[in-house]
Amino acid sequence: MLTKIVRTVSNGFIPIIVIFGLYIIAHGHLTPGGGFQGGAVVVSGVVMLLVAFNSQELKKSLRERILSIMESSGALIFIGLAFAGIGTVFFYNLLVGSSIFGGIPPTGPNIGDIWTGGVIPLMNFAVGLKVIAGLTAVVLAIALFSGGEEVEE
């Protein structure tokens, strides 16, 4: 555990990092970024917490079980969205033109509208959820393990 200054500053930064990560995930179909990149940004915040506090303390708020459920459901939502198009073909983007995220932007350069992209924003969210949960679990597991916690059969 580091000093109080470090802990206070990282506590202050965490919301900003998380919001920035979520922004990158949400605007994946408009600006550079997407689920993987935004997820990695959020997890970088978790790593910062891991440095500022110790892994034992972080473990109390981030349960491995919850993370595992989050990751599985992210992956299931992603593949579910791919399955949703199976009426036509697997991975068919069936939401283009519909009322959810179905807007089609004008051809050529434009300012962009969040309500476009069909399943792409939804898939970005699913992947973001998966990446956040998965990488957090990995980082936390490695930190806990190197901290000496070990379960031998």
Partner 1 sequence: MMEHVPLDFPFIAAALLMGVSLYIIIFKKNLIKLIMGIAMLAAGVNLFLVALGYRAGGGAPIYTGVPKETMVMPVPQALTLTSIVINVAVLALMLTMVIRIYRHTGSLDSEKSRKLKG
Partner 2 sequence: MDSLIYHSPALIVALPLVVAFAILLISRAGYRVRNIFSLVIFGLIAFLVAVLAVDVHSVGIRVYTFGATAAELALPGGYMVPVRIMFEVDGMSIFMGIIITTVTLAALIYSLHFLKGQTGQARFYSLMMLLYAGMMGLAFTGDMFNLFVFLEIASIAGAGLAAYRTNMADALEGGFKYIVVSAVSALLVLFAIGILYSQYNVLSIAALANYMQYTTLDMIALGLLGGAFVMKLAGVPLHMWAPDTYTVAPAGTTPMILAASYTSMYALYRITFTIYGAHIDSTAIGWIVIVVGVLSMFIGVMMAVHQTDIKRMMAYHAISQGGYMLLGVGVGLAVLANPVALASYGRDAINGGVFHIINHVFYKALLFMTAEAIFFRIGTRDTNKMGGLARNMKWTAVFYIIGALAISGIPPFNGFASKLLIYETVLKFNPVLAVIAMFVSLVTLASFVKVFYSAFTGPEMPAYREVREVPKSMIIGMAILAACVIFFGIFPGLIVDNLVAPATEALINQTPYINAVMGAVP
Partner 3 sequence: MKRQVTGLVLLLVLVAFIVLGMHLTHPFGYPDASDMDDYMIENSQEETGSNNVVAAVLFDYRGLDTLGEATILFTAVTGVLLLLRLSKRKEKIS
Encoding tokens for residue 113? 């509208």
Instruction: Tell me the window of 3-11, 12-20, 43-51, 122-130 that interacts with partner 3 (CB under 8 A).
Output: 122-130
* 59-98 footprint of partner 2 as x/- string (CB under 8 A): ---------xx--xx-xx--x--xx-xx-xxxxxx-----
Asked if 110 interacts with partner 1 (CB under 8 A), we say: yes
Cβ-proximal residues to 30 (8 Å cutoff; 6+ apart), any chain:
112, 113, 114, 116
Could you tell me how many residues make up the chain? Answer: 153
Three-state SS at 116: strand
**Count residues contacting partner 3 (CB under 8 A)?**
50
The nearer residue to partner 2, 5 or 151, going by C-beta atoms, is 151
* 28-57 footprint of partner 3 as x/- string (CB under 8 A): xxxxx-x-x---------------------
Asked if 146 interacts with partner 1 (CB under 8 A), we say: yes
- The Cα 147–Cα 143 span in angstroms is 6
Kindly report the number of other CB atoms within 10 A of residue 115's CB atom.
11
Kindly report the number of other CB atoms within 10 A of residue 112's CB atom.
12
Task: Provide the binding-site residues for partner 1, judged by CB under 8 A.
Answer: 30-32, 34, 36, 105, 108-112, 138, 142, 145-146, 150
